[in-house]
Amino acid sequence: MIPHRSTALLSVIVFVALLLFIFSSSPVPDATAEEEVTGPAKYVPRPKLPSLSNFHLPSFRPPSHEQPEEQNNSTHGESKWYSTLEWLNPFSSAITLDESRSVLPPLRERRPIYTYYNTKFNPNKANGKDLKDLQNADAELLLAWRRAWYAQGFRPVVLTPGDAMKNPNYEIVQRLKLAPKVENEVFGWLAWGHMGTGMLADFHCFPMARYDDPMLSYLRRGSMPELITRFENIKNALYSAEKSRIAEAVEAAVKKLEDKTPSFVDLIAPELFKVEQPHALAFYKSAAITSHYASVHEKMGQNPAAGQLALVQLINSHLHNTFQNSFPAGLAVLKPFPQHTTALVEPALRLAKALIQCPESPIPESCPPNLPDCRSCHSAKQPMRISQPPTYKNTTFLFTIGTLPHPYTLVSLQKKSDVITTPQIRRETERDAWLSEVTKEDLGPELGASYRGVVFKQVVAGEDAVGTSLWMTVESLPAEAGQTLPSELLDEFEWQFGFKIPRGGKIDPATENDQHTAKSAQDRTPSEQGVGIEYELIQKARDTIKDKDTNRINIKDVVEAWNLADTEVWRFVKAYRARSVVERQKWEEEEKPFAGSRT
């Protein structure tokens, strides 16, 4: 006979076993399948349950099994990149599956701005050598016009009579006997109508304001599609419209054209225009030159080509002066770990000293037409200030020049040696030291390096950062004491700033020792205190990073693995700078046959 206690225990075991069998044999509903609903309930919409996959979380994107396809124009030198909306990811390799391929934001669309130039239109009646000299001077003015608008985020294009001929209304116009000035104006509109949506500008019209100026931002976005935007009191300086509206206006105006028509624009119905204030535009029209820049006007009368070149120099000085006035807090040359990075930031400091120089000008204390009360560099008591903060300061009043070292370069400088061992890296160095140092003021000391990297990418390439900073990698710059910045590099920077950067020029001896002044643009070492070894270490580090056959490559890999975030942002900046070079070179190649292209 089974004891009573054993009977009770056996009953419990059987009961539990039955429960497990019942639940394990029940069908599990498919979470992805739709529940069948009958009757009126099937017509009632049901909300879907939220899922993490519905949210954009770049920090936690699941790894992909396939590399994205290589995009056109996505390599330059040793830099490779992949442009995508998902660029704000702590590590590019999560998307590209390639450690050396950086993820960048999509290229900003550059709205086209057109100008019309006809080499045969000669209001000065020049001929022979004088005509050739004048056309060369016009080319210099067109180059300055291209550079200024390109720096503001537009795509400058020079139109020619060949573009006007492709307009269906060209046959009507050419049968008329128009005055040369009116014919040039009409052909400019015909050429614009052929090209379509964008802006049409006189090449004497320049953007003279900060990149984030509201009016320039409005023009980058595009004008109202139903109207043509023009600007008060600067007739023929700049128009903005969509293709359909341009075609409609041109077709209606051409029908009204007569041999003695004084102005083509006056034939366009006024109700088609939207009038804006031109506070960010400087129009160097003939009347403005006569009234405000008498010496340039006088030179034009004596020698049109020489006068035109003087105007180019005047405009360049105004663009440079506008940049200086846009940043009242001055220039910041980022210098973390100042006891080790004097040589590292010297190229950036040389660039800063060039930017604070007063540009050459035929009228040194003059101001642009749209800014009559500007503060001229030549009349200022002190030059633009240069500071060297260890951390990045997030302010629109300060222009930042930053140079990023490869983690191996930084460790070499900190250790004052090119002989680095793995135990030293792991025991004696902080992880992602550079990124932590430059972001600690804004982000504090607690945040992780991955988050800092995402924020820093926004500082470099975000929409709000454009026009307020310039970033480069140390290894792409000169690494010898006293070495000036290469002309090719300065040429490239000019397309970001929009004006020619001074390459020389002496200062007043009385201010020679001022900490914010230089003898010339790039002829002075910022410090003489033990920087010789720094130059040597930077050069050796550069060789180590590039040399893939040396035994020391392993320690470079160790440093990169120990400083993943620092390595990521270094590659990001390097690729971002390389892509800007490729973008500009491609555009210049397309515009090479036309006047004003750089040869």
DSSP letter for each residue of 80-142 = EEEE-TT---S-THHHHS-TTEEEEPPPPPPEEEEEE--TT--TT---HHHHHHHHHHHHHHH
Cα separation of 431 and 484, whole Å? 33
Reading the block at residue 270, the tokens are 């006024």
Q: Which of 363, 349, 381, 356 is nearest to 524 (CA)?
A: 349
- Is the Cβ–Cβ distance between 103 and 92 less than 8 Å? yes
Reading the block at residue 551, the tokens are 């035994």
Reading the block at residue 469, the tokens are 């900073």
Beta bridge partners of 275: 230
- Is the Cβ–Cβ distance between 309 and 398 less than 8 Å? no
Give the model's pLDDT for residue 73: 86
- Is the Cβ–Cβ distance between 61 and 92 less than 8 Å? no
Q: Which of 228, 219, 226 is nearest to 273 (CA)?
A: 228
Show me where the domains of the chain are located.
Answer: 111-283, 327-345+388-485+522-591
Q: How far is CA 528 from CA 301, 334, 535, in A?
A: 52, 19, 12
- Is the Cβ–Cβ distance between 105 and 58 less than 8 Å? no
Q: Which helix (H) or strand (E) holds 536?
A: helix 532-546
Q: Which of 537, 568, 542 is nearest to 556 (CA)?
A: 542
Q: How far is CA 437 from CA 353, 393, 408, 452, in A?
A: 25, 12, 16, 10
Cα separation of 71 and 102, whole Å? 12
Cα separation of 429 and 407, whole Å? 11
Q: Which helix (H) or strand (E) holds 171?
A: helix 170-174
Pairing of strands 154-159, 111-116: parallel
Residue type, 248: E
Residue type, 106: P
Reading the block at residue 545, the tokens are 């990073």
Residue type, 30: D
Q: What is the pTM of this model?
A: 0.85
* Check whether domain 111-283 has CATH 3.90.550, yes or no: yes
Burial of 103 (0-12, 13-18, 19+ CB in 10 A): buried
- Is residue 404 helix, strand or coil? strand
Reading the block at residue 422, the tokens are 């793995």
Give the model's pLDDT for residue 27: 46
Q: How far is CA 39 from CA 32, 43, 114, 306, 426, in A?
A: 22, 8, 64, 88, 68
Q: Which residue has the tokens 């029908």?
A: 255
Give the model's pLDDT for residue 392: 95
Cα separation of 595 and 309, whole Å? 15
Residue 582 φ/ψ, nearest 5 degrees: -65, -40
Give the model's pLDDT for residue 24: 54
Measured distance between the N- and C-terminal CA atoms of the chain, rounded to whole angstroms: 111
Own/partner contacts of 172-178, CB < 8 Å, gap of 24 or more, are: 172/254, 172/257, 173/254, 173/257, 176/257, 176/258, 176/259, 177/259, 178/257, 178/259, 178/261
Q: Which helix (H) or strand (E) holds 469?
A: strand 469-473
Q: Which of 162, 126, 303 is nearest to 595 (CA)?
A: 162
**E strands, 358-424, where?**
386-387, 399-404
Give the model's pLDDT for residue 84: 94
Residue type, 259: D
Residue 45 φ/ψ, nearest 5 degrees: -65, 140
Residue type, 88: L
pLDDT in tens, the chain (599 residues): 455 556 666 666 766 666 666 555 444 444 334 444 444 333 334 433 333 233 233 444 555 557 888 898 889 888 999 999 999 999 999 999 898 899 999 999 999 999 999 998 878 777 788 899 999 999 999 999 999 999 999 999 999 999 999 999 999 999 999 999 999 999 999 999 999 899 999 999 999 999 999 999 999 998 788 899 999 989 899 999 999 999 999 999 999 999 888 999 999 999 999 999 999 999 999 999 999 999 999 999 999 999 999 999 999 999 999 999 999 999 999 999 999 999 999 999 999 999 999 999 999 999 999 999 999 998 888 889 999 999 999 888 999 999 999 999 999 999 999 999 999 999 999 999 999 999 999 888 888 999 999 999 999 999 888 999 999 999 888 767 777 888 889 999 999 999 999 986 444 333 344 444 444 434 444 445 558 899 999 999 998 888 776 555 588 999 999 999 999 999 999 999 999 999 999 999 988 877 666 65
Burial of 436 (0-12, 13-18, 19+ CB in 10 A): buried
* CB within 8 Å of 303: residues ≥ 6 apart: none
Cα separation of 487 and 336, whole Å? 27
Cα separation of 317 and 368, whole Å? 9
Q: Which of 577, 584, 580 is nearest to 404 (CA)?
A: 577
Cα separation of 369 and 319, whole Å? 12
